[in-house]
Amino acid sequence: MAYPAPLQELIDLFEYLPEAERRESLINYADASKSCGPKEGEVFDLEDVRKDEECTDTVGVFLRAEEGDRAHFAIELGPKVQTLTKAMTAILCRSLNGAPMKEVLEVPADFVPRIIGAELVRLRSQTVYYVLSRMKTAVKMLLDRRRAAEGG
């Protein structure tokens, strides 16, 4: 399956960055994750805030359906979340916001090493996959709720 266009653009960009610049970009994205959380007064259709065993701190995923079925995410991270996971959060918020929810569900996770690079792919940095899985879970939960409501 093809990636949503904004994500594909980021993959293309990261894949050809020299290592030092890739790290610098990841740091910038990690910094940007602070502004990925919900803004004051923002309303969401679904809020899924929890601390799972596979992540070092709490992650809150907030999802709102816009224009019918386009996803708008906000993600709040606890301070102990690893830096790579923070970076991936900002990357995913930027590249998946506005994508059709069905498309979000189908995003394959194989882009992750293409963005973070071989040097940073380690067993213990597997939580970079975690945020994407949480975003997909949120979409699925929202779609299930809708189906249930329609069925009821």
Partner 1 sequence: MNTKISAYAHPEVLVDADWLLEHLNDPNVRVVESNEDLLLYDMGHIPGAVHIDWRRDLNDQTVRDYVGPEGFAALCERNGIGPETTVVFYGDKSNWWACYAFWVFQLFGHSNAKVLDGGRDKWEEEGRPLTREVVAYPAVTYPVPAERNDAAHRAYYQQALEHMQAGKKMVDVRSPKEFSGETTHMPEYPQEGVLRGGHIPGAKSCPWARAANTDKTFKTREELEAIYAGELGLGVEDDIVAYCRIGERSSHTWFVLKYLLGYKQVRNYDGSWTEWGNMVRSPIEKSF
Q: Which CB, 80 or 102, lies closer to partner 1?
A: 80
- Min dist. Cβ of residue 64 to partner 1 (A): 29
Sheet of 59-66: strand order equals: 46-50, 59-66, 70-77
The residues of the shown chain that bind partner 1, judged by CB under 8 A, are: 23-24, 26-27, 30-31, 53-56, 82-84, 87, 119-120, 122-126
Q: Please enumerate, as own/partner, the contacts of 143-146 that have beta carbons within 8 Å and a separation of 24 or more.
A: 143/101, 145/46
Q: What is the C-alpha separation between 31 and 28, in angstroms, rounded?
A: 5
- Min dist. Cβ of residue 36 to partner 1 (A): 16
- Min dist. Cβ of residue 26 to partner 1 (A): 6
Q: Which CB, 125 or 137, lies closer to partner 1?
A: 125
Q: Which CB, 51 or 102, lies closer to partner 1?
A: 51
- Min dist. Cβ of residue 116 to partner 1 (A): 9
Q: What is the C-alpha separation between 128 and 112, in angstroms, rounded?
A: 7
Q: Which CB, 68 or 79, lies closer to partner 1?
A: 79
Cβ partners under 8 Å of residue 78, min gap 6: 51, 56, 57, 58, 59
Q: Which CB, 3 or 29, lies closer to partner 1?
A: 29
- Min dist. Cβ of residue 78 to partner 1 (A): 12
Cβ partners under 8 Å of residue 7, min gap 6: 91, 92, 95, 96, 107, 111
